[in-house]
Structure 1
């Protein structure tokens, strides 16, 4: 697998690691002067270990006092190496998130990266997820698990993002806030919270907000209602219960993409059909879930989670009516109602044998969906729901047993192993046969092993090596249309990957430093075939290769001044020729995988006292991004900067927090994301120019 063309990369990586070890050893020569940052326990790997002792690319982001609109996850997730998070400036299609290149193919929603909110999946069993129900106003922290060990979470885990909301604490309080900004952005928010007053009573936090905007581009206005409620019981028997309820409703116009010529002429414009057919999306989702954690004794612990939800989506696309008469075409209006539910139960055993921790569990998830398709016209009236073109019932479920073990061989060497049997079952019953029968069923299954060896070289320096196998099924949406009319709708294979990773983590007088080098080979990678007439179709690439380096550093420099920096390099290529299909040209071996930036860098400085004046600046660099498999064009590289300032003060039982910020400080004209393989060459989704926001929140304790 490690052929000669990869030797320079591996040689460079090895040199880097040797340099890092030498540098860290020098830095910690006088251990009496070491001033470490606070220890942070990360839960993403389920071993509850210090993030700096976790043998994986794991990162912990603490939510800070509000310094932005608090609408998009991209505001909170900055500077995580390997994570590419693009804001489309399009609330109808969600953010574009990829980890080490997994998920970059998505033209809407999130693929290839699993999302969790308070332990409850925000990703369906087929790997399709969304960030719209993540409430930044009540967020406590985010954990990001990248690399091969994300396979601990099963299907479609090129990376895992776990968000956790705060728990109520202290006296009852109410917080009222308002933030506004460019393009008539505005968000009004309300947060009620309080700690438990008596034993076995719950603490609570209730958060609700309303956001609306005219949008940066023409036809990109949106409004969003988001509510999140969390009750927490810490019971006398040592058990803990969280009950989480979440509601989101979004109405958003969809501006679509632009050709390069359109973008350069006027980045705010939209293609003619977008306005003609009034492209837009309506989303409504309600979800509830319970988590329960109970220590049985000093050695045994039980965790259980159960959830259920309902999601309704109606999307009006800008597909010309002349294109909707073709075979298998589902029309220009997508309309579905989805019910989803599941559970995860696991046991943890500690010190059953000396220095051994065992975990065993099973995750069960299911989804049922009534999906309809309609023409987006009625007679001469465009942009309305017309004749039925699709009517099907979809069912999807998985039962994934898993086990993990963590064994300390001695005081400095630890072995972590995991095994998960991931299996996903699809079934479609087509009730509208006029344009072809899409009925069918299939299942995908794979045993996913992982292994990590860590070595605490000195107390301030840890090295690790890991291996894991990954697994990603196509989503229901990606299997909706066969690549060729004669094909069955379930012809796509699941992608299977192998990841090797080497890493270093150091916590010393110079700060916290992490370095990781990875090599991921994927067979049958799922890649876009074409996006034509509103039909996005996909194929399997024979083999793809992702290899790269990720670096991060953070340090408290002086008093309340802190710094953060990160850098990512990823070489993501097609590693074999992908054959011709449906008249589309083959993908040559060596072409770069579209949608992925080869280099990314981030630098931030912040003055962050508990009270008083706060300020910060950050700079982000992203390399060029190829827009299609033939590498015919790119979204150019860019550098953008942002600055924020705020003031927080308290007067008795009142607290006030203000902020003001400017994003894209130097008014850079760039494409925030791309639509991969768009057949009309409308690849580009322009980002907003220089823009500002400001806000005030007032908290009263009772």
Structure 2
């Protein structure tokens, strides 16, 4: 079956390539991984400036970080190397992402974060981002804007993700096949074909992965087809396309109590006197996701340009759970338009950015009883619509004395509509129960000031605001009902930062200190069955320090020898938080480690040998609002070594990787505020994998 899929895909790629007409000049490729701090250009806040000159905290992951440093093809390990970012995988395929502590909103999935592929929105109108529908083998870079960025990207107090595809080689066509295998039944393969001839940059990838999982009932199977294309249709016009189809099926073993976790970390959630276990109910996620987007960039001249993007998406999801079986179908449409006006002449050169974004979703959900993994009697039949509108404007001015001033403002509107249809006849009949919730328009300003000191150092200060309304999975939680009384979060962040390099650019540093004050913070609760619901927790104070330091050793025999270390220090606490009769004010916010330290070493020799070593430490942190349960410290050692050589048109890459080399028992994702203290989801013990990539260009 796998051979058939690969053969059919190869034939399709060959036909597609033969039908493409090409002319004009090749498109520029993405940045090379070896660029240094004073050369790297980032897209955050539409600046397209060097990272050194960007007045915000931006983390950058290159292709090396995403596809070479760690052997396992998921983005989790790479994201965790960035200070202020925490990615979890409670079981294979079940991702959760926190930027500056936003995990208190994310019992699963990615919420309170906006995501884009170039200018195409990936986050839907309901605030959910399908991170597990992307395969890291199709990504060339990820930018992470940390903290509220509502002045340009709309709702969200956590941050913003900006994805970029693989670099397309100019002037030729390449093909690469890959395969990997490892512990716990891990197996994967992939095929990528790219062409960068004439006016076309085109990349088509198919990637497959399966695993039996470390824990009982934690198997995974995933197929991802990804298409990206960029076409210079004229000297001043570029059309880009993005297509994603993902078919993922993974089992969810469920959380364990501490006693169960200590006794057998590989176990799935067992049955109780009143509820069956995860394996008995075949708990899991079966999801098909499709996305098609197109963007058009038009450049009138070197001062005026516009990019307009439109997309459509669809999701079909089946979720057997302990107590019910959900079938959900979602359709999303939307678009974003951005116009830039550059007035470079005059005493204050200024760039203006104007635009708007419209997102809309329709979700039809039906819940049934769960009879050992099969839907039983229907329990609820609901329909949810979401519409989100954002309008924004930003100005960047170059001031005297090497100062740069940025001011931005956006207005955000969100509306939900909810209908609960009757599912059974009763005397007198039942009628549908339409409900709606509109949060009035919110203005979100941002102000930033930066000064550069020579060519290799800069300092910035910023004040930014965020507005984060409840996501669709929070207003209609798995516990049932429509929670229209849940209030949005509002936040203001104050931040200062210093970044630069020294010693001929061998020593690089980036330090930021911030204070984020949130009002009406949204936190998770769960009922006796483990189904979730959400409440507002008053105010929170989120203060932190993030630092990056790296040093390059220059030797004749190596292309790269780098030692680096990242640190995150946090003091996140509740303010004015009353839970019933208990005052939880000044308690630590659960799920956020006070100290996170990450260190590593990277080596790439001129003969083709490469190696990466990464160590992570997280000190204990609370697992519930009452701070009565605490996580174990995390000590994680990972290593990858390989050999890559190009001979003529052919390139071969052989590698081996080890994860959790210290063989620690730890959880790569806790269930925060879990009822019955079922916090624990054990990560794999010491494990290994190996892989090969074979490429050819012509």
Aligned to 2:236: 238
For the pair 1:496 / 2:490, whether they are aligned, the reply is yes
Task: Give the C-alpha shift of residue 167 in structure 1.
Answer: 4.3
Give the Cα–Cα distance (whole angstroms) in 1 for the partners of residues 446 and 606 of structure 2.
41
Aligned to 2:31: none
Aligned to 2:212: 214
TM-score, structure 1 normalization: 0.88
1:311 paired residue among 292, 310, 315: 315
Give the secondary structure class of the aligned counterpart of 1:680.
helix
CA contact (8 A) 2:149 2:156 kept: no
Give the secondary structure class of the aligned counterpart of 1:334.
strand
Deviations 1:609-665 (A, max 9, x none): 465110121111112131111111111112111111100011211110011011111
2:403 paired residue among 409, 413, 424: 413
Aligned to 2:79: 77
Summarize the alignment of residues 271-310 of structure 1 with structure 2, pairs less than 5 Å apart.
Answer: 271-272=269-270, 273-310=277-314
Give the Cα–Cα distance (whole angstroms) in 2 for the partners of residues 227 and 488 of structure 1.
35
Aligned to 1:139: 139
Q: 1:219 to 1:669 in 2, by over 3 A?
A: same
Task: Give the C-alpha shift of residue 224 in structure 1.
Answer: 0.2
Give the Cα–Cα distance (whole angstroms) in 2 for the partners of residues 637 and 606 of structure 1.
25
Give the Cα–Cα distance (whole angstroms) in 1 for the partners of residues 214 and 422 of structure 2.
39
Summarize the alignment of residues 361-400 of structure 1 with structure 2, pairs less than 5 Å apart.
Answer: 361-377=355-371, 382-400=372-390
Aligned to 1:184: 185
Aligned to 1:429: 419
Q: Please, which moves more after superposition, 206-215 or 429-438?
A: 429-438
Q: Please, which moves more after superposition, 218-227 or 82-91?
A: 82-91
Deviations 1:167-220 (A, max 9, x none): 432322221110111101011100111112x3x4x2211110111000010000
Deviations 1:341-372 (A, max 9, x none): 11101110001663111010001111111111
Q: Which segments of 5 or more consecutive residues in structure 1 lack a partner in the other structure?
A: 1-34, 320-331
Aligned residues between the structures: 641
Aligned to 2:108: 108
Aligned to 2:340: 348
Q: 1:579 to 1:262 in 2, by over 3 A?
A: closer
Give the secondary structure class of the aligned counterpart of 1:103.
helix
Give the Cα–Cα distance (whole angstroms) in 1 for the partners of residues 482 and 125 of structure 2.
21
Task: Give the C-alpha shift of residue 684 in structure 1.
Answer: 0.8
Give the secondary structure class of the aligned counterpart of 1:183.
coil
CA contact (8 A) 1:117 1:134 kept: no
1:338 paired residue among 325, 330, 342: 330
CA contact (8 A) 1:406 1:416 kept: yes
Task: Give the C-alpha shift of residue 69 in structure 1.
Answer: 4.2
Aligned to 2:4: none
CA contact (8 A) 2:127 2:472 kept: no
CA contact (8 A) 2:150 2:410 kept: no
Q: 1:461 to 1:241 in 2, by over 3 A?
A: same
Give the secondary structure class of the aligned counterpart of 1:386.
strand
CA contact (8 A) 2:110 2:129 kept: yes
CA contact (8 A) 2:71 2:656 kept: no
For the pair 1:467 / 2:463, whether they are aligned, the reply is yes
CA contact (8 A) 1:218 1:269 kept: yes
Aligned to 2:124: 124
Summarize the alignment of residues 675-690 of structure 1 with structure 2, pairs less than 5 Å apart.
Answer: 675-690=671-686
Task: Give the C-alpha shift of residue 145 in structure 1.
Answer: 0.5
Give the Cα–Cα distance (whole angstroms) in 1 for the partners of residues 387 and 74 of structure 2.
30
Task: Give the C-alpha shift of residue 579 in structure 1.
Answer: 4.4
Give the Cα–Cα distance (whole angstroms) in 2 for the partners of residues 413 and 362 of structure 1.
28
Q: Which segments of 5 or more consecutive residues in structure 2 lack a partner in the other structure?
A: 1-34, 271-276, 425-429
Deviations 1:253-306 (A, max 9, x none): 110111000110010001221122111210001111112222211211111111
